[in-house]
């Protein structure tokens, strides 16, 4: 018997667990499967509404008493690097960019392990083996690329940084990036974002999606250092430079019920057109 996937995606909520960004908080995610012939269209549509991709799942924070996590993106046309960001570009001008299909390599995994051991040894990805890493890179139902950064100035070429990137219809979505911990002063995380802004400019794409900005989190606060940054809040994108207070709200009535959140999600029209 042949079965077809439902046209409208089904949404689910994860069980609460410890928040990785803010002490004393519990996180919960709203998510849906990303699969089938309309995967790219769904990824494009939900990314514009604060969702992020992890393999074949799209998710968005939906915590019961906290609304601190905000999806962030850079408006490419209005972006200007700061003085420190220009110095970052200069420090890393020896790096060569290579864009490839989403295929995992041993060089990538070695770099990934060194990065996790140095930066996130107690995080949720700390125990990932090479097979789980390969799944993270390769299991993508949408248009994705692996952006590698190589230093070939020495005797042997060295992979310095890597970013798994989705190509959306309105920008680049930086799914996950990692880099060598031995060059801490090079600000490689900042450099990868700056280079993605350049790639988007060259491709005529208006946005670079950075993932979630979390005010009050030492891990995620750096994203506010980029000019022309927008965050998705209250069902719309707004510029963080407008003076709005983005302190984390922990009131139990500050978050709408799941059913109302789902009802406000705009879905793409995937009905076949009549010939």
Helix axes 106-119, 130-138, angle to 10 degrees: 110
Please tell me whether residues 133 and 232 are part of one structural domain.
Answer: yes
- At residue 192, the pLDDT reads 98
Alpha carbons 88 and 163: distance in angstroms, whole number? 17
222 is in which domain, residue-wise?
A: 73-242
CATH code of the domain containing 85: 3.40.630.30
* pTM tops 0.75, yes or no: yes
Please tell me whether residues 226 and 92 are part of one structural domain.
Answer: yes
Q: How confident is the model at residue 250 (pLDDT cuts 50, 70, 90)?
A: low
Please tell me whether residues 53 and 127 are part of one structural domain.
Answer: no
Nearest to 65 by CA among 263, 248, 213: 248
- At residue 222, the pLDDT reads 85
* Contact by Cβ (8 Å): 260, 249: no
Is residue 100 in some structural domain?
yes
Please tell me whether residues 256 and 218 are part of one structural domain.
Answer: no
pLDDT tens per residue, range 104-143: 999 999 999 999 988 766 666 778 899 999 999 999 999 9
* Contact by Cβ (8 Å): 225, 79: no
Please tell me whether residues 120 and 31 are part of one structural domain.
Answer: no
Please tell me whether residues 188 and 101 are part of one structural domain.
Answer: yes
Is residue 251 in some structural domain?
yes
- At residue 113, the pLDDT reads 95
Is residue 206 in some structural domain?
yes
- At residue 79, the pLDDT reads 97
Task: Write the CA distances from 245 to 57, 216, 221, 241, integer angstroms.
Answer: 31, 12, 14, 10
Is residue 2 in some structural domain?
no
Q: How confident is the model at residue 220 (pLDDT cuts 50, 70, 90)?
A: confident
Domain count, the chain: 2
- Let me know if 68 is exposed, middle or buried by CB neighbors in 10 A (0-12, 13-18, 19+): buried
- Let me know if 137 is exposed, middle or buried by CB neighbors in 10 A (0-12, 13-18, 19+): buried
Please tell me whether residues 102 and 207 are part of one structural domain.
Answer: yes
Please tell me whether residues 85 and 206 are part of one structural domain.
Answer: yes
């Amino acid at each position: 018997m042949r079965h077809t996937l439902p046209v409208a995606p089904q949404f689910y909520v994860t069980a609460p667990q410890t928040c990785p960004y803010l002490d004393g908080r519990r996180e919960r995610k709203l998510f849906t499967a990303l699969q089938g012939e309309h995967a790219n269209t769904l990824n494009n549509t939900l990314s514009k509404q604060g969702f992020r991709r992890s393999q074949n799942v799209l998710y968005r924070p939906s915590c019961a008493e906290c609304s601190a996590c905000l999806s962030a993106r850079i408006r490419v046309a209005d972006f200007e690097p700061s003085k420190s960001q220009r110095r970052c570009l200069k420090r890393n001008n020896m790096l060569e960019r290579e864009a490839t299909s989403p295929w995992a390599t041993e060089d990538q995994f070695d770099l990934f392990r060194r990065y996790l051991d140095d930066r996130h040894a107690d995080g949720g990805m700390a125990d990932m083996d090479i097979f789980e890493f390969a799944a993270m890179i390769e299991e993508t139902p949408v248009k994705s690329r692996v952006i590698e950064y190589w230093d070939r100035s020495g005797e042997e070429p060295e992979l310095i940084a890597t970013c798994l990137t989705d190509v959306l219809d309105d920008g680049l979505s930086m799914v996950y990036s990692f880099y060598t911990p031995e060059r801490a002063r090079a600000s490689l995380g900042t450099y990868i974002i700056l280079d993605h802004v350049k790639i988007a400019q060259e491709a005529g794409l208006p946005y670079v999606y950075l993932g979630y900005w979390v005010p009050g989190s030492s891990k995620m606060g750096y994203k506010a250092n980029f000019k022309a940054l927008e965050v998705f809040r209250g069902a719309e994108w707004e510029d963080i430079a407008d003076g709005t207070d983005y302190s984390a709200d922990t009131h139990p009535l500050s978050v709408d019920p799941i059913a109302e959140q789902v009802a406000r999600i705009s879905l793409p029209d995937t009905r076949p057109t009549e010939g």
